[in-house]
Amino acid sequence: MDRMLSGIKPTGRLTLGNYIGAISQFVKFQDQYELYIFIANQHAITVPIEAKELRQNTKDLIALYLASGLDPKKVTLFLQSDVSAHAKLGWIMTCMSYMGELQRMTQYKDKTAKGETGITAGLFTYPCLMAADILLYDAKYVPVGIDQKQHVELARNLAERFNHRYSDTFIVPEPVMTTVGQKIYSLQDPTKKMSKSETNPKGTIDLLDDPNLARKKIMSAVTDSLGVIQYDPENQPGLANLLTIQSVLAKEPIEAIVSRYQGKGYGELKKEIGQTVYDFLSDLQAKYRDIQDKKIVDQVLLEGAKKASLIADKKIAKVYRKVGFTITK
Ligand code: TYM
């Protein structure tokens, strides 16, 4: 079985974008791959976050992984900071990266272009840590939303660079993206990504939103004045986004939804999508609450860290020998 790995940063409440672009893929792949899914808590401190909030986000994220259907019997679920090899290889990858290539990373570029102040050195170098996350496990595939593709490409370059400079050590990973839902957009500005850090709460559906509120957000989503139901992301980005959400959650092809709605209005379509989102969230949150009651999270993380460390420790020992940190061969 090929190995696959991915992670999510516990910086804020998880969105429907995270579910569609990432988590739903993980669930789908758990039967076909040897899957490693982690919580990227070391990435979460690249922007200031209170310890209390980070702790809560971390607990929510692991419970949401489980509630979404990730089965700890099939998937290794763990916390990044429990496996010390991530930080160790992260440093080596930082030293393998060039300033120029990190300056080209869009996330960093966007923040600097917006004139944001207080950008940490960690935010600048985090793609190096992300490369380490992937390369430590010899992951062949990395399921992500399109916004992370560039980072996986950096991991590929760093793997090749290391293999070339020392000798064959790392598998060169490939990003895997879903065909429908690589990027879910803000409900209020469908040219922008739906994001954990969005300032307008009406634009984002959080996985832990009250389902009634989520339904209202769908009903007030920005569309257009064309009044025709068709899938045209360029000219009708808001409608295309809603159709994508409905298609993924209701598991119905976009064309089938479009043909059911010929001659009908946006209001009717939004009503159906609102109901789909309502049902999806109600079901997910019931499972989430159940998992919290059973307190299984600690156990899952403990076992996950043990399994992940087994692989990661071996790999970092090999890397330490190759770079010359270990003085006995
Ligand atoms: P993060 O936490 O920002 O996002 C987690 C995953 O969700 C996807 N995603 C989306 N997909 C579709 N539409 C959206 N609106 C949307 N918003 C987010 C992201 O593409 C991602 O797949 N650096 C990573 C976490 C990470 C990681 C890794 C991922 C750290 N190490 C190693 C893979 C492998 C991040 O910040 O993702």
Verify that 272 and 219 share a domain, yes or no. yes
Verify that 30 and 140 share a domain, yes or no. yes
Is residue 261 assigned to a domain? yes
Q: Which residue owns the Cα nearest ligand 1 atom 9?
A: 18
Model pLDDT for residues 263-308, shown as the tens digit of each residue: 999 999 999 999 999 999 999 999 999 998 777 899 999 999 999 9
Give the pair of three-digit tokens for residue 49. Answer: 């976050």
Q: Which residue owns the Cα nearest ligand 1 atom 36?
A: 9
Give the pair of three-digit tokens for residue 324. Answer: 């010359």
Whole-number pLDDT of residue 329: 67
Which atom, in ligand 1's list, is nearest to the CA of 11? 2
CB 43 within 8 A of CB 129: yes
> Can 193 be counted among the known catalytic residues?
yes
Residue type, 124: F
Residue with tokens 């991991």: 155
Which atom, in ligand 1's list, is nearest to the CA of 40? 30
Verify that 49 and 160 share a domain, yes or no. yes
Residues 39, 305, 76, 177, Cα dihedral to 10°: 30
Verify that 61 and 125 share a domain, yes or no. yes
pLDDT confidence bin for 167, thresholds 50/70/90: very high
Is residue 187 assigned to a domain? no
Verify that 136 and 212 share a domain, yes or no. no
**4 by DSSP, 3-state: which?**
strand
Between these two residues, 294 and 42, which has the higher pLDDT value? 42
147 lines ligand 1 (CB under 6 A): yes
Verify that 121 and 12 share a domain, yes or no. yes
Whole-number pLDDT of residue 110: 87
Whole-number pLDDT of residue 295: 77
Beta bridge partners of 206: 15
**pLDDT > 80? residue 205:** yes
CB 206 within 8 A of CB 198: no
Instruction: Report d(CA 67, CA 71) in Å as an integer.
Output: 9
Verify that 172 and 208 share a domain, yes or no. no
pLDDT confidence bin for 258, thresholds 50/70/90: very high
Instruction: Report d(CA 248, CA 245) in Å as an integer.
Output: 5
Active-site residue, from 193, 217, 270, 315: 193
Verify that 233 and 269 share a domain, yes or no. yes
Verify that 156 and 239 share a domain, yes or no. no
Is residue 38 assigned to a domain? yes
Q: Which residue owns the Cα nearest ligand 1 atom 26?
A: 7
CB 137 within 8 A of CB 3: yes
In the chain, the number of structural domains is: 2
Is residue 163 assigned to a domain? yes
What is the residue range of 161's domain?
3-177+295-323
40 lines ligand 1 (CB under 6 A): yes
The phi, psi pair for 174, rounded to 5°, reads -125, 135
Give the pair of three-digit tokens for residue 296. Answer: 């299984």
Residue 293, CA atoms < 13 Å, CB-side half-sphere: 6
> What is the Å distance from ligand 1's center to 328 Cα?
39
Between these two residues, 114 and 145, which has the higher pLDDT value? 145
CATH number at 229 reads: 1.10.240.10
60 lines ligand 1 (CB under 6 A): no
Instruction: Report d(CA 84, CA 88) in Å as an integer.
Output: 7
Verify that 149 and 247 share a domain, yes or no. no
Give the pair of three-digit tokens for residue 137. Answer: 């496990």
Which atom, in ligand 1's list, is nearest to the CA of 43? 30
Active-site residue, from 59, 183, 196, 202: 196
Instruction: Report d(CA 291, CA 15) in Å as an integer.
Output: 19
Is residue 105 assigned to a domain? yes
Instruction: Report d(CA 215, CA 209) in Å as an integer.
Output: 10
Verify that 209 and 131 share a domain, yes or no. no
Model pLDDT for residues 66-100, shown as the tens digit of each residue: 999 999 999 999 999 999 999 999 999 999 999 99
pLDDT confidence bin for 144, thresholds 50/70/90: very high
Model pLDDT for residues 214-242, shown as the tens digit of each residue: 999 999 999 999 999 999 999 999 999 99
Verify that 58 and 71 share a domain, yes or no. yes
76 lines ligand 1 (CB under 6 A): no
CB 223 within 8 A of CB 236: yes
What string of DSSP letters covers 123-180? HHHHHHHHHHHHHTTT-SEEE--GGGHHHHHHHHHHHHHHHHHS-S-----EEE--SS
